[in-house]
Amino acid sequence: MNSPSPSGPPDGPLHAQASDDAAQPPRPARSRRSVLLLAGAVLAGLLVGVLIGVTADSGADKAGPSATATTTVTSAQTVLPTPGAVEAPASSPPSSKALAFGTTWRVQNTDPAKPFEGSLTVLDYKQGFTSVGKASEEAGEPGYVWAYADLKLCGTRGSYTDNTTSWTLYYGDGGRINPSSSTYSDFPKPEFPFEVTVTAGKCARGKLAFAVPGTERPESVLYQPDGLDEPREWIVPKA
């Protein structure tokens, strides 16, 4: 909207109002063009300032991205699908690491149809006990004696079924010996059952007999049921 024109010609002098400064010489009036140019310059300056401020803020935001720390957690697991997939939790040693006697391997059945949690360990190994039955007859060649591994399997949740065919003795030359297929009344007791099912709060412990070479000693006791690619291993101490 146009402002009312002041009295007098646009480019001519304006009459000063009566005041205490009436004695001062009159100041020349600004033309409409000058006023509009001045307002435009002020507005342009404000816009430039705003743009500079926005640009500075954007640059500040880009200049200092916050650092993000990433932590990768890994765990070693052993799959044991008998009767489901059973794995060692992260707290257990990896399957490539042999265990000492008495060290417990905690197992967990991941099969939702048969949930199970429990533990397994080898407690001892003895070689040279005597029996009415001859170890050489069991092995089919002379020089063999009886030995046993003391085993313990416990359950804390659900149920799990295992048998003695999961166990072998391992020798330094690569040889492996399976448990004895025979049992005698004077074998060390308690004997580990051929097949056993453990449930929550229950354990199965016993001695599993082997016919072994009398002049050799195994390096370790292995646990490897069907479906387990890499066995769990407990080191047999030197005699």
Q: What is the pLDDT of residues 177-196, one digit of tens each?
A: 999 999 999 999 999 999 99
Please state, rounded to an integer, the average pLDDT across all residues of the chain.
72
What does the pLDDT average to over 95-109? 86
| Domains defined for the chain, CATH in brackets | 86-235 (2.60.40.1240)
| CA–CA dist 151, 169 (Å, integer) | 13
What predicted TM-score, i.e. pTM, was given to this entire model? 0.61
DSSP class of residue 92?
S
57 three-state secondary structure: helix
Structure tokens, 148: 């046993």
What's the CA angle centered on 48, arms 44 and 54, to 5 degrees? 145
Q: How confident is the model at residue 96 (pLDDT cuts 50, 70, 90)?
A: low
Structure tokens, 195: 């097949």
Q: How confident is the model at residue 227 (pLDDT cuts 50, 70, 90)?
A: low
Q: What is the pLDDT of residue 111?
A: 77
Higher pLDDT, 143 or 230: 143
| CA–CA dist 26, 15 (Å, integer) | 7
Short-list 193, 189, 190, CA closest to 179:
193
Single-letter amino acid code for the residue at 80: L
Q: What is the pLDDT of residue 9?
A: 40
What does the pLDDT average to over 146-161? 95
Beta bridge partners of 151: 122, 206
pLDDT over threshold 50, residue 92: no
pLDDT over threshold 70, residue 130: yes
Beta bridge partners of 232: 223
